[in-house]
Amino acid sequence: IAGITQAPTSQILAAGRRMTLRCTQDMRHNAMYWYRQDLGLGLRLIHYSNTAGTTGKGEVPDGYSVSRANTDDFPLTLASAVPSQTSVYFCASSDSPEDTQYFGPGTRLTVL
């Protein structure tokens, strides 16, 4: 099935633990994105990648890192989770940076 998958669907994590959220797309899109969505706020861009091998910082990058070793995968790592990182995380992709973005189903993360 074409599209974007994310794993896990949800996770409860102790503060201080390391966590990697996975994102895979099979549309051969060049650009990929990580957003967080919090109540009352718009989606906020964490990191992006315009093409495999490159990454960039978005609006709220602190505490997060990404890598883009190939076209399909774009994992997001929280090196040492803090409660303020409790959020819903969406991965998205687009054919090129100026094209429409398509979203994965999201990961609901709770940091205690």
Partner 1 sequence: GQNIDQPTEMTATEGAIVQINCTYQTSGFNGLFWYQQHAGEAPTFLSYNVLDGLEEKGRFSSFLSRSKGYSYLLLKELQMKDSASYLCAYMDSNYQLIWGAGTKLIIKP
63 interacts with partner 1 by CB under 8 A = no
Buried (b) or exposed (e) across 3-40, using 16+ Cβ within 10 A? Answer: ebebeeeebebeeeeebebebbbeeebbbbbbbbeeee
Instruction: Count residues near partner 1 (CB under 8 A).
Output: 18
Residue from 2, 14, 40, 62 touching partner 1 (CB under 8 A): that is 40
Give the binding range for partner 1 (CB under 8 A) out of 18-26, 34-42, 63-71, 76-84.
34-42
Sites of contact with partner 1 (CB under 8 A): 40-45, 48, 58, 90, 97-98, 100-106
